Amino acid sequence: MNDDVRHGWPAGVGLPAGAGPRTGRRLGGLAAAAVGACLVAACSSAPPTAADFCRTLAQQKARYLSAYGHPSGNPLGDLVQVISAVGQWVPIFEALQQNSPPSIEPQVANIVSSLKQEQQEAGNVASDPLGGLVSGLMTGLESSGSWQQVSDYATAHCGSSNAP
């Protein structure tokens, strides 16, 4: 075994033979900084782009239309289909929110929040129809600006046929 051991390191491994304890601390600090930078780079990714938003919007729209875009001709069946389709709006807009650029994400988040609130309030309509109607109207009015901004964003970045 090598008798020239300094600071727990065998001679020739890691530190030069004449290096003192400050050199070891500096190298350790640099190694920690390098590892930290790598972790930050690996854990953080670029924010979604307009292309990500448009791709997600097109995918979600295609899924929605394939499931709910074909009227049956039976008015009652179509009404049931419309009501069940509304339940799919939250996951659609949640997917869109995850792929929204920072400039439009708050508006999409507001839409998700209002849709969830409307779903919650729909359960109260049976016990308080007038209260449910007023509450739903207020929720809709509060999010109408967000709906318009998201629609405008989609039109500007994805084309008019892709607006929600």
Question: DSSP labels for the chain?
Answer: --S-EETTEETTSSS-TT--HHHHHHHHHHHHHHHHHHHHHHH--PPP-HHHHHHHHHHHHHHHHHHH-S--S-HHHHHHHHHHHHTTHHHHHHHHHHT--TTTHHHHHHHHHHHHHHHHHHTTTTT-HHHHHHHHHHHHHHHHHHHHHHHHHHHHHH-GGG--
> Distance (Å, rounded) from C-alpha 150 to C-alpha 164?
8
Domain chopping of the chain, boundaries: 5-43, 50-162
For residue 91, what pLDDT is reported? 93
Residue 79 vs residue 23, higher pLDDT: 79
Most confident of 35-39, 42-46, 52-56, 64-68: 52-56
For residue 45, what pLDDT is reported? 81
For residue 30, what pLDDT is reported? 55
For residue 53, what pLDDT is reported? 96
> Distance (Å, rounded) from C-alpha 93 to C-alpha 113?
10
| 101 has a pLDDT exceeding 90 | yes
For residue 118, what pLDDT is reported? 81
Contacts of 102 (CB under 8 A, 6+ apart): 47
| 159 has a pLDDT exceeding 80 | yes
* Residue located via tokens 């920690």: 32
